[in-house]
Amino acid sequence: MAETETSHRLVSVSTNGIDWNILDSAELRLWQEGRPEVRMILNETSPWGETSDFGSGPYSYQVTWRDHRNQVLEQAEQTADSSLLSICSPFAGLILVRAFLSRALYDRGDRALVAMRYRDDAHGYLVETAFELSSERPEYTWGIEILNNDHRTYSYRVEHEAKANTDLSFSCDWTESEEPMLILGHRLVRSVRVIFLSNPEVYAFAKVKLVHSGARGDQKASLLVYTSDAEVWYYFPDSEDGRGYRYQATLYTRDGEAYPQPEREADEEVLIILPPENDVPTEEEA
């Protein structure tokens, strides 16, 4: 028997909680057995639609989203039996990553160029961003909408530029992380605070040679620490392995005489250089 007018019903479609700053449009397909397929495009200017082509009983639908990078996000087919169909966001969650410039780099006035990306190969989904951190803007927060809450791994890459000394610049190739707080420079730059404790009437300065053996080989520095300065800071790049360093100090008196000290190993962030009369060697060193 032919269908009557009363066998048709109106199905109204709306979008719920859609961030149109990220998503550009949704192509909605609806179909019911024995009836033609219905297609409609939903977007920020047209967030709702309707059709009266279906009769009573369940119907099927499937949504294909496009974001502003023209990536296609296809949701699985679903079944409904309501006259009010609400289309929800394809995203399952959100990752927030706060990137900071480490205090060591911030204090020096350095800057870091940072690239970040999130890739979900299972859904063919890629999000990328790039930004600069400096003393003017030492922090940046990146929000990433994700399709799978179980996949929260992102990657970052750093190009660091030291303001005072280009030898202290470093780069960090693509590194994976799930940390919500990313301190750039942490484990990549090791600070050493060198203090020369002596009688300023006797010693004028100390020349301190530092050597750190890292992943890129030996990194050497030569520092002059004057008694009037009290302390000098140095930063070893590429020390993420956590290993210590070697140092050798030569003390210079006011009369210009040099007193070289033996090379030693250390792991402290504060290195105190003492004059010979207070620096008693152990039996092993003697």
User: Poorest-confidence range of 11-15, 31-35, 163-167, 272-276?
Assistant: 163-167
Query: What distance lies between CA 77 and its chain's CA centroid?
Result: 35
Q: How far apart are the first and last CA of the chain?
A: 110
Closest to 203 measured CA to CA, from 270, 273, 262: 273
Closest to 236 measured CA to CA, from 269, 259, 204: 269
Per DSSP bridges, beta strands 181-184 and 93-101 are parallel
Q: Is it the case that residue 1 has pLDDT exceeding 50?
A: no
pLDDT of res. 135: 85
Name all domains of the chain by residue range, CATH numbers in brackets: 9-88 (2.60.40.2890), 93-184 (2.60.40), 189-278 (2.60.40)
Q: Could you tell me how many helices (H) and strands (E) the chain has, helices first?
A: 1, 23
Confidence of residue 37 (pLDDT cuts 50, 70, 90): very high
Confidence of residue 241 (pLDDT cuts 50, 70, 90): low
pLDDT of res. 109: 80
pLDDT in tens, 79-115: 999 999 999 999 999 999 999 887 767 777 888 899 9
pLDDT in tens, 105-163: 777 788 889 999 999 999 889 999 999 998 889 899 999 999 999 999 999 998 877 77
Decide: helix, strand or coil at residue 278. helix
Mean pLDDT (the chain, rounded) = 84
Contacts of 124 (CB under 8 A, 6+ apart): 71, 72
Rounded CA separation 116/135 (Å): 20
The model's pTM: 0.60
